[in-house]
Structure 1
């Protein structure tokens, strides 16, 4: 029986081979492209939905920042997802993808008055980040009605995981109202008492590097805060809890762990009140839904040796994997090597660097990595890049954004590619910089 890793590698090889045959990636005209396995995305969404019991009301809102390509957002909408946005641009993308306003959650820490007015006029759910923003919302609602669900983001201050930059519930985090700071809990109680339209609470502990128990601990403090508000006010004013996302991704293998079911088990242990049906819930997963379902393919242009170290110069670097290039220890990515046909390269491995095309020395996807020896014309696949990579380009050196394709089809049928983003042309680049 084929292992999960073998099956995943075989599917990637089939996708890559078909893409090469159809010239979606080509050594002359298309040196770099991204691919999203839409069948895998559907499986991941189904796993998320199965993990939560049918007895509670849950809106699973995809975190658009993970991959905001409009056709992909529309695909997720078709799978029953909502959409979490963190900017006016992401809000526009969500609306263009067909999400109804009541399926959208707006979470930016720096919302302008104009953005708040738009969201409240549309009926988009809004999570206020701070007391000043709450005052702005109150001023707007004093002059017009809104159907928006409105909450406040709290910082449960439970600490950091192993990656500081993706830990959002530290003592000094920029996000939310710090729950444990002197006077903040009492001030929040007054705000909820004064504003009956404030009916939700939101928290997000972090993502990659945050253990599940830390995330569950932060959500438990959030639930305790909601229950304190309702008890102090003598009414069920808080009716919904947005528990954020944050399930970490295994970048070392094709394992999909730890899994949404494991995450829910931690929540049941730490915050059982979430599952009584007393609260509506929102989740905001992105990274864990898409990363394992995407890869980036790039041609090897040159190979060389420097200081006895073989180096492959490819067309994939920081412009499609900025996190990995600038924080390689926190965001490592696996690389697979392929012949020009897309077939996997096998044989003895050579310790080598996989470098990108950008004009700075640190533009490396992999450092001292043992892989079959690469030669010009080979193809490398950068794995687990369905989120926060080719959909979030870094524009140093003015390299064009690569095409991104969705792919469908099982083992017994032909693979079908769908454009999710067209390749940017040089004329497109000139229009944006002229």
Structure 2
């Protein structure tokens, strides 16, 4: 996001009261930025027969999903909740792909009845799908997820093509390749292969290597079948995001060029292609703004106690080396802070000592009433809050700009205390007491 554009949005949001004393932490989504990112994705891959889907988990908020549906994209979902959100956002079932390593029978039945594409994670799931298809016809495209076992990236937790990954059928285990060939031979309705090497921390070369392995497997399956049984390849997403500055790198164009070099046959029209990008479409098109409530000095270190912590930046707090975020400092009027930088910790409101979004960071001296901004948090941050300490889910607002005019629209309102109570079982307040015998009253 252009820094001047972001500064203008922050200033307008503060002056409009969208973040401040009444709303101490708020998420913001750049509608123009998302629209441009979708355009860049389409341009990068050209006219190849493709279904570009957005990974719902990256920003599982219905109005954001609606924006992607309106742009003509599909949606990748990984739970009944995400499927419901995708349908509510207006994605046609035939443009939805269901991925999950633990789909229930009910979840599969529902997806197959709708015609949602399903990528099976393992052979057990294939047996379940076979039983369901024998009972009822379905228009769903059925695929099998393959773990090409090409190795891990720099973040183990985000690497899904390592030797022991929980995802997919391992391609290089003894006997696995033949078992895959046998599965396709015995299931003529199995027409797609799926691969996702990983997300943040995986290089373009590693991702392309995994795609190459699955393309070669598709060729082998089709040769054995004597026909093109595998008609499409779901090559996943996983394009990493640069969190160091505002530059978008790598770009969709760079990734598409990497694929054209490593797997040129992908683009000859014989296979339909599916992508599942998430973070790379939204991360740089959103930010989190939070109020500085207090500041103090301890052990010679200045600490700013803010309302942005583990509940909205979970990955950064628990894996700071893997998920470092840039911090922007603004004054109480929403203007960029000036002055000499000083080492400071930026802490959140959660009640544990490690709730820090930045440690020993050089920033202009923060004061109570200032606003901090967590850059590049449009995906997996404020849209996926953690309810630790029963902290409220923050409001989310989308914005556009025409010239210097900033317009906002509420995407998700801030969670109320009444809603927190309802989620915590307040309407069942006597449930446990009702299980006690009459003579077990506490003294």
Q: What's 1:39 paired with?
A: 32
User: C-alpha separation between the residues in 1 aligned to 2:69 and 2:15?
Assistant: 31
Q: Which residue of 1 aligns with 2:9?
A: 15
**What is the CA–CA distance in structure 2 between the aligned matches of 1:187 and 1:417, rounded to whole Å?**
54
Is residue 2:418 matched to residue 1:427? Answer: yes
Higher deviation after alignment, 286-295 or 413-422: 413-422
Residues 306 and 346 in structure 2, CA contact (< 8 A), matched pair in contact too = yes
Q: How does 1:4-403 map to 2 (within 5 A)?
A: 8-27=2-21, 29-54=22-47, 56-403=48-395
What is the TM-score when the length of structure 1 is the normalising length?
0.97
Give the secondary structure class of the aligned counterpart of 1:284.
strand
**Cα separation, 1, equivalents of 2:401 and 2:296:** 38
Q: Which moved more, 1:17-26 or 1:221-230?
A: 17-26
Displacement of 1:413: 4.8
Deviations along 1:376-411, one digit per CA (max 9) or x if unpaired, are: 00000010000000011111110000100000123x
Give the whole-Å Cα distance in 1 for the aligned partners of 2:334 and 2:25: 13
- Paired with 1:308 and 1:126, the residues of 2 have a C-alpha distance of 56
- 1:169-192 residue CA offsets vs partner (Å, 9 max, x unmatched): 000100000011111111111111
1:4 aligned partner: none
Aligned-CA RMSD value: 0.8
Distance, in Å, in 1 between the alignment partners of 2:268 and 2:225 is 21
Q: By how many angstroms is 1:121 displaced?
A: 0.4
Question: TM-score, normalization: structure 2?
Answer: 0.95
Uncovered stretches (5+) of structure 2, i.e. residues with no partner:
427-443
1:348-386 per-residue CA deviation (whole Å, 9 max, x = no partner) reads 100000000000000000000000000000000010000
Contact 2:148 2:170 in 1 (8 A): yes
Counterpart secondary structure, 1:415: strand
What SS class does the counterpart of residue 142 from structure 1 fall into? helix
- Partner Cα distance (2:46, 2:396) in 1: 35
Cα distance between partner residues in 1 of 2:63 and 2:199: 25
Aligned partners of 2:339 and 2:265: how far apart in 1? 54
- Structure with higher Rg: it is 2
Q: Distance in 2 between matches of 1:79 and 1:99?
A: 10
Q: Report the equivalent of 2:435.
A: none
Aligned residue for 2:419, secondary structure, equals helix
**8 A contact 2:20–2:290 mirrored in 1:** no
Q: Judge conservation of contact 2:52–2:274 (CA < 8 Å) in 1.
A: yes
1:78-108 residue CA offsets vs partner (Å, 9 max, x unmatched): 1111000000100000001011100100001
SS of the residue 2:405 aligns to: coil
Instruction: Detail structure 1 runs of 4+ shifted over 3 Å in the superposition.
Output: none
How far is 1:415 from its partner?
1.1
How far 1:26 sits from its partner (Å)? 2.4
Look up the SS of the partner of 2:257 in the other structure.
helix
Q: Deviations over 1:305-334 (max 9, x none)?
A: 111000000000000000000000000000
Aligned equivalents of 1:413 and 1:378: distance in 2?
23
Q: Distance in 2 between matches of 1:68 and 1:303?
A: 33
